[in-house]
Amino acid sequence: MCGGWCSGACGQYLMYALVDCNTFYASCETIFRPDLVGKPVVVLSNNDGCIIARNAEAKALHIPDLVPFFQVKQLIQQSGCHVFSSNYELYGDISARVMRLLETVAMEMEVYSIDEAFLRVDKHNCQALGKQIKDMLLQQVGMPVCVGIAPTKTLAKLANRAAKKIKKFKGVCVLDSPERWQWLLQRISPKDIWGVGSRITERLQHLGINTALELAQANPKILRQQFSVVLERTIRELNGEPCLDLELDPQPRKEIICTRSFSYKITELHELQQAISLYAARAGEKLRQQNGLTAQIWVYLEAFDPAVGHYYRQRVVKLPHHSNDTRLFASSAVEAIVPLYRAGIRYKKCGIGLLDIRTHKYEQQDMFTQQQSAQSRTLMTVLDKINQRYGKHTMMLANTGINPKWSMKREFMSPRYTTRWTDIVRVSC
């Protein structure tokens, strides 16, 4: 059998599977806390601002999503709900473990997000494969997932939605015949289809299309003229015709932006310089992960101060040469932020962007142009390897400060069980 997708005889034996982790952030928090299984859990955004994740038990208590934490703090306390700050180090590592396991059962795989992946799988025994994936991830990682399998990515999304919403599927839904996916399409709105949305649904309703099945039965050529080629592809996918392939080699980003709000409003220049230096280090690490280089950085300051209103200043800086060196980014950003600073203003946020990124592979070199040194490249490689092995910020720039007070507020932070030696779980017998 061919390992890749083809539209001929080989393609008819292949299916798409979408594996989606259930309430991913909240589930990560319970993996090392078995005492929380079956209890309500919510996870907060940066600076403990808003609720961004709830498990099923929290949803059953009618704790709303995407609302400021302070507005529902009393309800959460009264209901006995457990609250956690975002532990991105833990979530990233758990996601990597899930993806490595999925690679073992897939012909090919597209990592769609931190908690979702599309797999290309054999058409035979899909139900058994879906259950195998579900049991494997629960047993080896402790992560509950739902699996949707269908002949197209759009239908796989639909199948995964059904696996989550309809109890009889028990977390695995296979749509391997028109009768099965049409039964589902008849019962949902077009807005529930991947890539359609509320605005397009309103326009479709004016055309007499009120269900997803009616959308699937519409003429794709006519709707393409009134909407776009994207909707035409969606319609074809809803009829079992693959139009969207796996993205096996995601395109490197042309820009990398790193910004955070402070835990309190900053007034001192040296604290702003510490923050922008730290964000430069984060952006540099991301740049090296995609083997990129840049010769332009963008920095900005933002404040919401009653005395001056909305204060926003930005600046683009040209670097002397293309580079991926954190030290160059940080020193340039620290200098660039000085003319943007105005004393007496209480700053809430700052950020840095790496612009016009190019791949190291296409770097132009000649004897007359200043270039990043081999020593600099080697040093950055060593820096990344140390931080990957021993945890983030094991080695960092001195001008980022030591335990700065302005850093992101995470009062309900759980241990980083898998990425810090000091946080490893200890078991006593």
Any idea which fold 256-400 has? Dna Ligase; domain 1 (3.30.1490)
Q: Are 92 and 114 in contact (CB under 8 A)?
A: yes
Predicted confidence (pLDDT) at residue 362 exceeds the cutoff of 70: no
Cβ–Cβ under 8 Å, residues 324 and 363: no
Cβ–Cβ < 8 Å for 293, 363: yes
Distance, C-alpha 102 to centroid of its chain: 17
Residue 2: predicted pLDDT: 39
Average pLDDT over residues 160-181: 92
**Phi, psi angles (nearest 5°) of residue 274:** -60, -45
Domain 13-174 superfamily per CATH: Reverse transcriptase/Diguanylate cyclase domain (3.30.70.270)
pLDDT higher than 90, residue 48: no
pLDDT band at 41 (very low <50, low <70, confident <90, very high): very high
The pair of three-digit structure tokens given for residue 221, joined into one six-digit string = 């050529």
What percent of the chain is predicted at pLDDT more than 70? 95
Q: Contact 308/267 with Cβ under 8 angstroms? A: no
pLDDT category, 361, cuts 50, 70, 90? low
Break the chain into its structural domains and give their ranges: 13-174, 177-250, 256-400
Give residue 367's pLDDT band: very low, low, confident or very high (50, 70, 90). low
Read off the pTM. Answer: 0.79
**Domain 177-250, classified CATH 1.10.150.20, yes or no:** yes
d(CA 96, CA 99): 5
Mean pLDDT for 320-346 is 93
Give the CA angle between residues 210, 215, 207 to the nearest 5°: 55
Q: What is the pLDDT of residues 76-128, one digit of tens each?
A: 988 889 999 999 889 999 999 999 999 999 999 999 999 999 999 988 889 99
- Which tokens hold the place of 386? 């140390």
Mean pLDDT (whole number) for 329-357: 93
Average pLDDT, stretch 136-162? Answer: 95
| Domains 13-174 and 256-400 belong to one CATH topology | no
pLDDT band of residue 7 (cuts 50, 70, 90) is very low
pLDDT of residue 306: 79
